[in-house]
Structures are given as structure tokens and as C-alpha cells.
Amino acid sequence: MPGFYVHEATLRLDPAADSAAPGAAITVALCGSWEHPPPCPLAAHHTAVQQDGQSVKLRTVFAADPRQEAEVRRRIDAALAKGSQASPDGILSRWTLVGTKAAELTSAELERAQRIAGS
């Protein structure tokens, strides 16, 4: 049975950046591509974006084998630390990672985690 988790990150987007690009970078890091058939190979996940000007908070909810939790968090951090992601049409979005941390799931996030895990 998978565990349910959330990983929170704060970034500063470059002015021309797409706010969805950091979430796409996370998907690429966890799945190899943002377009793939279900299920996600390492961890079923969903990233929510809250943007306030150039400041962005990401909350990535994921369901994974508890033995894989640290690896999922490492991949999320590495993807965001890269600071950029190209879109399918080659447009590069850039950001600066301010920080990441493990966070507590809200009740809505727990419900989402259970849905994405197929529980």
C-alpha cells in the first residue's frame, strides 16, 4: 500500500516564465516525460501552483511506496534546482529555487493522493 505525501517548494519565476514549467520539470523527473500512459512509473503525483507575482509556491502531492519517499523528494528537489524547463515547442522557462520542504497533507490533498493512487 502506498504512502501519501506532499512536498512544498517556493520559487521566484523569471518574468517571461510559464508558471506550469516547474510542475512539468517535476513530472519529467518522476516519469521521464510529461506525456506518458498511466500509471506514473515512480510515484503518482499532482502539483498545485499558487502564484503571487513572480513568487510561486508548489505543492506536489504524491503516492509512493514508503521506501521510495526519499527518492521521490530527491528527484523533485533536483528538478527544481535545475531552474529551467523547456516546453514542447522549445520555449525555455526559468526560475530560482528559494527552498523546499516536506509538508503536511491537507484533507483535500489526502483525498487527491488517494484518487491518483487508485485507492
pLDDT digits (tens, 9 = 90+) for 8-40: 999 999 999 999 999 999 999 998 887 777 777
Give the C-alpha separation, 92 to 76, whole Å: 19
| Domains identified in the chain, total number | 1
Lookup: cell for 66? 514508503
Whether the bond between 39 and the residue before it is cis, its omega within 30 degrees of 0, is yes
- What does pTM read for this prediction? 0.93
- The CATH number covering residue 79 comes to 3.30.70
Query: pLDDT tens across 91-111, in order?
Result: 999 999 999 999 999 999 999
Residue 96 belongs to what domain range? 3-117
Report which residue type is found at 39: P
